[in-house]
């Protein structure tokens, strides 16, 4: 699998994502600067990492969504290429409208950083197929604007179409219907607030996110 990690000014999980990809796929990920115009040829998977792109000015992810490379990320998604947005990357994907809903300020108005238990709401996806034997996992969060919100019609639609992928078992931020991760209708773009790259190395004592990357490797 040939993967690329997008680097924005303010990204702070780009290297973590690249290390997780290299560890699980055996192939180094390309680090792509936000001002680049195009992805490397043959890219299978694009990861938009966590962090605070552009300092989270305006809205989290709003300025990053206008970066030159994001135009090619959108084109990659429209061609059916795989895209994973983690935390700030999830925010960017909602700003581009590749994913439904929006990420608002946490209900408690405080930054939250802790391990959270998750249910895998749909295991039949390119992002979760390796979770088929577990259905639950634990992955850390680290966000201040992680509350997933959408109107009732949108919530009903994405629930009915299997687009809700991860759900909090103990809601840390007030997200509508405990939603922690969603994908697009086509099934090739997913955003999640928890950080699987921070839970994919046995040396750190956390492996709950490993199956996300294993699933993508299988899908590619």
Catalytic residue among 34, 76, 143, 195: 195
119-161 pLDDT, tens digit per residue, is 999 999 999 999 998 899 999 999 999 999 999 999 999 999 9
CA atoms within 13 A on the CB side of 209: 26
Confidence at residue 57, expressed as pLDDT on a 0 to 100 scale: 84
193-213 pLDDT, tens digit per residue, is 999 999 999 998 899 999 999
- Report how far apart the first and last C-alpha atoms of the chain are (Å, whole number): 6
Which 8-state DSSP code applies to residue 40? Answer: P
- Neighbouring CB atoms inside 10 A of 205's CB total 7
Catalytic residue among 34, 76, 87, 143: 87
* pTM score: 0.96
DSSP string, 138-189: EEEEEESS-EEE--HHHHHHHHHTT-EEEEESS-SS--GGGEEEEE-TTSSE
Kindly compute the dihedral angle of the four CA atoms of residues 102, 195, 25, 131, in this order, to the nearest 10 degrees: -80
Tokens of 152: 């009732």
**Residue 87 falls in the annotated catalytic set:** yes
Tell me how far the alpha carbon of residue 74 is from its chain's centroid.
15
Q: What does the alpha-carbon distance between residue 167 and residue 122 come to, in Å, rounded to a whole number?
A: 10
Catalytic residue among 13, 34, 143, 197: 197
The mean pLDDT of 45-59, rounded to a whole number, is 93
The mean pLDDT of 88-111, rounded to a whole number, is 96
Confidence at residue 133, expressed as pLDDT on a 0 to 100 scale: 87
Confidence at residue 50, expressed as pLDDT on a 0 to 100 scale: 97
**Residue 143 falls in the annotated catalytic set:** no
Does the pLDDT value for residue 220 go beyond 90?
A: no
- Neighbouring CB atoms inside 10 A of 54's CB total 20
Confidence at residue 58, expressed as pLDDT on a 0 to 100 scale: 82
* 135 in Cβ contact with 119 (< 8 Å): yes
**Residue 197 falls in the annotated catalytic set:** yes
Looking up tokens 């299978």 gives 44
């Amino acid at each position: 699998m040939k993967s690329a990690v997008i680097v924005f000014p303010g990204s702070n999980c780009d290297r973590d994502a690249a290390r997780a990809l290299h560890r699980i796929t055996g192939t180094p990920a390309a680090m792509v600067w936000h001002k680049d115009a195009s992805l490397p040829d043959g890219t299978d998977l694009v990861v938009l990492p966590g962090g605070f792109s552009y300092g989270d000015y305006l809205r989290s992810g709003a300025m990053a969504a206008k970066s030159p490379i994001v135009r090619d990320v959108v084109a990659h998604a429209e061609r059916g290429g795989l895209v994973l947005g983690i935390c700030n990357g999830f925010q960017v994907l909602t700003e581009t409208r590749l994913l439904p809903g929006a990420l608002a300020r946490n209900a408690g108005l405080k930054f939250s950083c802790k391990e959270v238990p998750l249910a895998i709401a749909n295991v039949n996806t390119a992002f979760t197929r390796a979770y088929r034997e577990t259905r639950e996992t634990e992955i850390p969060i680290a966000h201040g604007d992680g509350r997933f919100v959408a109107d009732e019609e949108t919530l009903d639609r994405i629930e009915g179409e299997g687009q809700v992928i991860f759900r909090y078992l103990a809601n840390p931020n007030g997200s509508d219907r405990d939603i922690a991760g969603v994908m697009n209708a086509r099934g090739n773009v997913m955003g999640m607030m928890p950080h699987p790259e921070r839970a994919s190395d046995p040396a750190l004592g956390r492996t709950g996110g490993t199956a996300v990357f294993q699933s993508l490797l299988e899908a590619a």
